[in-house]
Every structure is written in C-alpha cells, then in structure tokens.
Amino acid sequence: MRPFISSIVAVGALAFVPAAPEPAPLRGFTAQSSALERSWEAKFRAIPEPKRMRDMMQRLAAHPHHVGSPYGKQNAEWIRDQYASFGWDARIETFDVLFPTPVERVVEMVAPTKYRAILQEPTVPADPTSSQHAEQLPTYNAYSIDGDVTGPLVFVNYGVPADYEELERRGISVKGAIVIAKYGGSWRGIKPKVAAEHGAIGCLIYSDPGDDGYGGGAVFPKGPMRPPRGVQRGSVADMPTYPGDPLTPGVGATKEAKRLDVRQAPTMTKIPVLPISYGDAQPLLAALTGPVVPSQWRGGLPITYRFGPGASRVHLKVKFDFGLKPVYDVIARLPGTTEADQWIIRGNHHDAWVNGAEDPISGQVAELEEARALGELYKQGWRPKRTIIYASWDGEEPGLLGSTEWAEAHADSLIAHAVAYLNSDSNGRGYLGVEGSHSLESFINGVEQDITDPESNVSSWKRNQAALVMRGDPDARAGGDLRIGALGSGSDFTPFLQHLGVASLNMGYGGEDDGGIYHSIYDDFYWYTHFSDTSFVYGRALAQAVGTTVMRLASADVLPFVFTNLAATTHRYIDELQQLRDRRSKEIDEERRRVSDSVYAIVRDPRDPVGAPRLQTPPPRFDFAPLLDAQDSLSAAAARFEKSYTAWRDGGGAAQERAQPGDGGAAGLAEVNRRLMRAERVLMLRDGLEHRPWFKHSLYAPGFYTGYGVKTMPGIREAIEQSEWGRVNGEIGRLAEAVNAEAALVKEAATLLQPR
C-alpha cells in the first residue's frame, strides 16, 4: 500500500488526493481490534482541557502540601473525590513513615569573619503564596541526623568522588572539617555520603547562581531563575541503598510493621547536613583562603573560589523532630473485563516540598484529566480488557515513600498481576521525554507518533526525531524506533521497576523551560503560570500521551512488548562494558607510566603543587563469553517472537481463534500474555545488587555514587568503575543467567503465539 501511494505523490498527481490509507494495525492489535481501539483513542484525546488543568493546579498548589501537612491531607481527599466523581472506585491507603522536620537550624561562620546565615526564603510581593510562612517547611534536608559541630570549612565543588581525588592530589583533607558543596553533579544525597566517607563532620549544600541562578537568566520574580535567598530543600537519605521509609526496608510501613530504631536506620546520613542559599553561601566562600580552585570548579558568584580551609571556622547545628507521619496514597480503579487480573498502573505524586506547582502538580493535573477522560469513555460504553489503576502518591519528595510502601505492602499481588507501570512527575514545554524498559521502546514510539506537539504541530515523535537529527544522531534519519533512555531513580517508578520487576516508563515534556525554583517556596502557581507551560497545552499533550499509552496496554490482544529492541539495547550495553574495561585499562597503564617516568614531578608548579593520582592495579581480562552467549540466545528468541507475532497479526488474530479454538485463539493468547507479563520479572537478580539487595533489576539501577543517574548492567559496570576487579566475572555470570532466563521465556511465548 505505502509504496503505491508515495509513487503517486512522486509523479506529482496532487490533483486528486487518494483516501487516507488504512493505517497499519497498532502493535498488539489485529486489523479489526485496532480500528476499534483507534476510534476510542481519538475520542479520548479530544477530552482533556487546559483550562481545567489550570484550575486544578490553582486549587492543589494553593497552600504548602508536604507530608503530614493539613493541606496535603485535604488534597488527598479532594483527589480521591475527583476520581470518584469521574466514575472510578477510589480510596485512600495510609502508611506511617519516618518524616523528620527541623526544630533547630544554625549555620554561622565564627572565624575569621562572623556571619550568621539567614536560612529563610523571603516573601516576593508579586507572588501571593510566597507569604504563607506559617505553613511552609523550613529550608532543610530530610534524613540528616542531628548534629552540633564546629570545624574548618572546605569547598568540595559538587562533592562527588572525583572532587575528593582532586583535593587529595593537593594535599587538602576534609577530616574533621565541614564541607560546602554545590548542588548538581549528582543526586544531593551523594554529597553527605561521600563527605562522611572522607571524614568530614558536617555538610552544607548550596545552589550556585552559575547553575540555576542569575547565570541562566533573570531571577524570580523578573525571570524564572533562583533568587539570592532561594533554597533547594530535599531528601539526603541514602536512596541508592533503598528508598521508602528508612525504618521499614522491604515491607509496607503499616501500623503493625516492625520498625528499626532511627539510630539503626542505614539510610540516614552519617553527618549533619543543611542546604543554604547562595546569599548565605557567599560570605562563607569569600572567607576561604588557600589555593584557587581549578576553572571547572568555579561557580557564578563574584568572588575568587578557593579550597579553604585557611583560618575559617563554621558552626553547624541541626536538630529534628523524628516523629512518624501518615502518608495518604490515593488509589483509583477502573475494572477490566476479560483480563481483569492483569493490571496497568499509572502514577504521579501529589505531595510537594512547599506549594509545588511544577513539582508535582503539573504532572498530577495531567493524570487527573486522563482519569476524567477515561471515566467519560467508560460512561459511553468503552470497556478496557485489563484493570486500570491510577495512583496519586504521597511522600515522593522525602524518598518515594508513598509508592515504595504501597509497592512493598502489595508486592505479591503486583508480582502476580502488574503488566506495566507508567509514571510522570513535573511537566513543562518542549520535547516528550520517555525513559524506561526497552521491551516497551518500540510500542511507545508508536504512541508518540499519535500525539500532536502543540508548538510545532507535528507529532511528538517527529519533533524528537528532528532534535536528534540536529544533534547529528546517525540513526535518527532512518525513521526507525527512536531509542529511549534507561531509568535510574528520582521518581515513583523505582519500586515498580527496580524492586518488583514491573516494566515501566517515565514520561514528561521538557527542554524548553529553564528555572531555579526547584523545591523552594517559589515553585508555585504564580511561577508556573508566568514561566512554564503557561497555557497548559503541554499538560494536555501529556494527558493525551500517557492516557493513550494506558488505553493501548489495557486493551491489546497481545501485550505490546517488542524484544528485538531489548536485545539491541543489551547488545549495546555489553559493547559499552567491554569498551569501559579497555578504556580503564589504558588510563591506568598511562597513569602508572607517567608516575614511573616522573612526569608529574617534572611538570609540578612548586608554588601550586598538585600531586600524582593514587596508583591503581590494571584490570585483568574478563570472561564475557557466558554473557555473549546469553545475548545470542536473546537476540534469536526476540527475532523468533517477532516472526510469530507477524504471522499472528497477518493471519487476522481472531480468525485464527475460530479456525483452531484453544490453540492460537483466546486461550492461547492468554497463555502468551501470561508469559509476556513475566518478561521484566525474570530480569531480576534473586539476591539483588551487591551491598543493596533491595535493588534487583539486572539491567537498570540508580548509581551508588550518582543517585539519580542510571547505571545500566549495574553489577558489572559499577565493579569495573570502582576497580573491584575480583567481582567482575561473578557479576557477568549473574547477568548471563538473567539474560538466558529472558531468552527462554521469550522463546516460549514465541512458540505459543506461532499459528499452527
């Protein structure tokens, strides 16, 4: 069909426009079921309204609504009532979690100059909700321990491991010191973790204006960037070890759950931590003496950045109320018909650090509009095959509390019933970002092609493709599936994907908005409606994109997993790991040679001496053979599944059912889908990752030293990056086992789907 149409266009026969060709069936649908699905989807996408999203944002962000706040509870009840009014069965599930709030906060420089930090974000007169000080949480980092420490101050750049190597080469120790780190470069919880590993006694984290303040544009309220006294709140729990309530790892934080003592909770920080503004940081940094930092360490303040400590002494005191607080998860269900025991789950959090218009209400209002639109369709007679669960999570900000506790409390049913989890969080203008399970990569490419980008009026897929072409991506022009990124952490998909093995996607628009209000009192309705998706057309696009994804997953005849994309991705990761080993080997050899040739000693500036890096043992050769064999099996099984799928689709699917009941028909399809549901599950490592068994996915994990940033094939990758050579072959074996299990399952599904 296609070549014929395009040849007409090619000869210039534009005088008569041929009728639009019948589009190819949607993935997972027959020609017949696809046509029906498309007509319901078209109705669905016409329903979400920007004006409603704007009104809901104004309502939900009208007051601070953090965990344990009165307005947070009111929001949960209001959201529940919204779902109910849309025709969903909606209820609130409550968990009791550790949520520390500050009682006392002091940061002061006592020498060589005196300065007491203000630690307060001021009212901005133009911005009505910025004055709600009585309801706002103070500026702080949750899950810092109590502490009262005084010591010299050392500037550590972003405070990641590489920064401490630089300090070590200059002979600067942070032992017994308080460090001051910039926000950025890693997830914030990494900074106190690495500081404590190096012997620091306290940690300050500040937002440098070069990163999200005046360096990027006018500051709020003139522009979207961070004003001098704006502070980023946030959790500093050791979430790469496990997220959720620090007191109940692995189990739901129900009333009767066994709890750790706060002092035993392994994810609490080891040293006291407090975030500050650049207004408060400047006098501290300006008082530091010692050598000037390298150019990459410099920020945007009008001072000379130095390492310190010189004569500096800083006093840091924090004291917390370590009480339990309730989190209110809103869970709404729309029942399925023939496959009601298969669940499609979709979530976005509703709690914020303060008013949180962007984070998370911009995503929450899209989720609510989807729910309203799906409720509308239901009233018109639409019935999804599978059960749809919409969740509005509480407690995401302190540490994915609501989603993690719910996933842990319902682990057995989720393992038995969950097909996929779809997440969103903050939403803005620009490009549709999608990250997640690569078995859903091809499917989500199909969805993106049916969503119209409101600014360019092409599809969101086309706009993403154009952006990749601009970046010189060699594959983008070919027109095949665009790659999706892998998920690390930073939002509520983590317990589903990385703890339970539920195939997951995280979706959201962005890339055109800049801002410096993250986790401050200025992330509010005023800011969002002046500087972000001001007309809420991207809110509508997000509702259309995620809702379409939900509908397709809920009604597909064959669950739309495509394993050739997964196999191509694992192939790429294995190549990367082999290259990583070779690169590390070369680098280490080169360093050793420079030291033995006295290169460092010869080039050293005696007035600003920098030592040689610590020498490392070069890596041996690793045995990748078991993994390469498993990869071959997976590629073969994936290709075989595609062949079966094509034969099923071209045979008309349903027709097959009539011809041979119980074979390629309904009962057979149910068997196929039961296998497909388990496809992400079998990628889980039985004992989880080294040192952090809560994280079980063999392909995706947040980095132990990056936090949000993903490490793919994390067992092997982190062993190589951290020079733990003795662990690598064992990790290759564990991963090969998971990939082999995946290959066997996909092969089984292919055999079951193959028409006989």
Rule CB under 5 A: which residues touch Zn ion? 359-360, 425
d(CA 28, CA 444): 12
Q: Residue length, the chain?
A: 756
Instruction: Give residues with Cβ within 8 angstroms of 26, minimum separation 6.
Output: 34, 37, 38, 446, 552, 556, 560
> In terms of CB distance, is 28 or 508 closer to Zn ion?
508
- Closest distance of CB 518 from Zn ion, Å: 9
CB closer to Zn ion, 360 vs 664: 360
Count CA within 13 A, CB hemisphere, residue 463. 21
Q: How far is the CB of 129 from Zn ion (least distance, A)?
A: 18
40 vs 538, which CB is nearer to Zn ion? 538
Name which of 360 and 515 has its Cβ closer to Zn ion: 360
Sequence-ordered list of residues with C-beta below 8 angstroms from that of 105, at least 6 positions apart, any chain: 119, 138, 139, 140, 274, 317, 318
CB closer to Zn ion out of 370 and 397: 397
Tokens in use for 166? 């630089």
Listed in order, strand segments (DSSP E) in 405-524 are 418-423, 430-436, 504-511
Smaller CB distance to Zn ion: residue 359 or 405?
Answer: 359
Token representation of residue 88: 């969903």
Q: Measured from the CB of residue 501, what is the shortest distance to Zn ion in angstroms?
A: 23
| Tokens standing for residue 74 | 């009111």
Q: Provide the minimum distance between the beta carbon of 436 and Zn ion in the complex, in angstroms, as a whole number.
A: 17
Distances, alpha carbon 184 to alpha carbons 167, 303, 633, 638, 716, in Å: 18, 20, 41, 39, 26
Judged by beta carbon, residue 322 or residue 393, the one nearer Zn ion is 393
CB of 268: closest distance to Zn ion in angstroms?
22
| Residue 543 identity | A
Q: What angle do CA 116, 121, 126 make, to 5 degrees?
A: 145
What's the closest the beta carbon of residue 66 comes to Zn ion, in angstroms? 12
Partners of 684 in beta bridges: 697
Nearer to Zn ion, 249 or 508 (CB): 508
Rounded to the nearest whole angstrom, what is the least distance from the CB of residue 116 to Zn ion in the complex? 32
Which alpha helices (DSSP H) does 68-108 contain, by range? 70-85
The amino acid present at 30, given as its one-letter code, is T
- Say how far apart CA 26 and CA 114 lie, in whole Å: 67
> Whose CA is closest to 212, among 508, 426, 513, 432?
513
| Bridge partner list, 315 | 108, 150
In the complex, the smallest distance separating the C-beta of residue 360 from Zn ion, rounded to whole angstroms, is 4
Q: Assess contact for 641 and 750: CB atoms under 8 A.
A: yes
What is the nearest approach in angstroms of Zn ion to the Cβ of residue 473? 29
CA dihedral 289→270→110→168, nearest 10 degrees, is -10
What is Dmax (Cα atoms) for the chain?
A: 88
What's the DSSP call for residue 492? T
Query: The tokens 């945007």 sit on which residue?
Result: 300
Q: By C-beta, is 37 or 425 nearer to Zn ion?
A: 425
CB of 351 to Zn ion, least distance (A): 9
Smallest distance, Zn ion to C-beta of residue 355, A: 13
Give 252 or 399: the residue with its C-beta nearer to Zn ion.
399
Closest to Zn ion by CB, 147 vs 398, is: 398
